[in-house]
Amino acid sequence: MPDVADRTAFGSSWCTWWLALQPKWRQEPTDGRLLGPLSLAKGNDNLNALKKGGASGLVTVLIALKWWAPLTDSDSEWEAAVRDIFSCLEHLTDSRGTKRKGIEENKSKAKKKKT
């Protein structure tokens, strides 16, 4: 594990990196949040940009997040990052591959109203 002297700088760098890895539709911060929530996905929006290995792959992202963890006692930015990665992993591992919180439920309700 690397010796990280400045946790604020490391956290900020990690967040900037995570943002850069996102598909364009998630790169627009909303309501003061780091990233747009997955529920904002429309049409063909997906997280396929995150499905990769190597230096900018999810394993590396998780390792860097782990390096950040011991640097904080209670850091809301770190906790938000963990929640966001968890949501992304849930989405990416959904067996249908199309689950988007709010989107699928709304489509289903709209179909029921039409009939």
Helices (H), the chain: 7-21, 58-68, 76-93, 103-114
pLDDT tens per residue across span 10-24: 888 898 899 889 998
pLDDT tens per residue across span 47-96: 988 998 888 899 999 999 988 886 667 778 888 889 999 999 998 887 55
Single pTM value for the model: 0.71
What average pLDDT does this structure show over 23-33? 72
Closest CA to 68 of 83, 78, 58: 78
Tokens (6 digits) for 68: 């950040």
* Domain spans, the chain: 7-114
CA separation for the pair 13, 39 (Å, rounded): 25
Report the 10 Å Cβ neighbour count for 65: 16
- Greatest alpha-carbon span in the chain: 61
CA separation for the pair 16, 2 (Å, rounded): 19
Beta carbons within 8 Å of 114's beta carbon, 6+ residues apart: none
Q: How much is the pLDDT for 64?
A: 92
Q: How confident is the model at residue 114 (pLDDT cuts 50, 70, 90)?
A: low
